[in-house]
């Protein structure tokens, strides 16, 4: 691949990004809709927590997909900026709360053993009496509000579109 001109090397990254971006956005929307169908009166149980965990993982996967734009040299700085703007929506006590909760979900065994590497703790965030409602997921000091998280994702999508449009314009000019 290194034998290709820069614009062709960048096009390879783009070819992987575009379908993954569409897929990860669609899965995020589906996870949002699953939470949206709940009513405030529903019994909050394991099913609701599963829906939340799916939404949180989908938020993180969408963020990771958009992060691919940082691999496109001509728009890397802009892509880093939009990702940082998205991350600021989840800041809690100097930490990215979305990442902290995602880490707890995906590495539960490590946190349960007291060896988790993130800012969460077994006693503080793995408490089995954590609060989960249709509109709020809480694990200790880390909280995600459903509406504001989805709004942040929508803004990230809009920003990613602007960045990807700039890449496409550069690519067309470079050919």
* The pLDDT of residue 68 is above 70: yes
Q: Are 166 and 173 in contact (CB under 8 A)?
A: no
Cβ atoms < 10 Å from Cβ of 175: 9
Among candidates 103, 116, 104, 101, which has minimal Cα distance to 149? 101
Cβ atoms < 10 Å from Cβ of 122: 15
Higher pLDDT, 39 or 166: 166
Q: How far is CA 61 from CA 1, 6, 29, 67, in A?
A: 27, 27, 12, 10
* The pLDDT of residue 42 is above 70: no
Lowest-pLDDT choice from 4-18, 32-46, 67-81: 32-46
* The pLDDT of residue 43 is above 60: no
Contacts 24+ apart (CB under 8 A), 23-26: 24/58, 24/61, 24/62, 24/64, 24/65, 25/62, 25/65, 25/157
Q: What is the pLDDT of residues 1-35, one digit of tens each?
A: 577 788 888 888 888 888 999 999 999 999 999 99
Q: What is the pLDDT of residues 118-166, one digit of tens each?
A: 777 667 776 666 778 889 988 888 899 999 999 999 999 999 999 999 9
Higher pLDDT, 76 or 10: 76
Q: Are 21 and 167 in contact (CB under 8 A)?
A: no
SS3 (DSSP) at 41? coil
CA gap 167, 14 in Å, rounded:
9
pLDDT value of residue 12: 85
Cα dihedral 136, 139, 143, 144 in deg (nearest 10): -50
CA gap 171, 97 in Å, rounded:
36
């Amino acid at each position: 691949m290194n034998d290709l001109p820069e614009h062709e090397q960048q096009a390879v990254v783009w070819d992987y990004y575009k379908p993954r971006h569409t897929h990860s956005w669609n899965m995020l929307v589906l996870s949002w809709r699953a939470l949206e169908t709940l009513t405030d009166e529903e019994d909050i149980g394991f099913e609701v927590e599963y829906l939340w965990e799916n939404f949180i993982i989908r938020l993180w996967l969408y963020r990771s997909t958009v992060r691919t734009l940082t691999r496109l040299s001509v728009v890397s700085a802009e892509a880093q900026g939009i990702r940082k703007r998205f991350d600021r929506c989840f800041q809690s006590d100097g930490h990215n709360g979305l990442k902290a909760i995602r880490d707890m979900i995906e590495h539960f065994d490590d946190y349960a053993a007291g060896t988790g590497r993130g800012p969460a703790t077994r006693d503080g965030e793995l408490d089995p009496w954590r609060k989960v409602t249709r509109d709020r997921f809480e694990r200790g000091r880390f909280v995600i509000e459903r509406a504001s998280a989805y709004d942040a994702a929508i803004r990230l999508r809009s920003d990613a579109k602007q960045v990807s449009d700039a890449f496409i314009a550069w690519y067309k000019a470079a050919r």
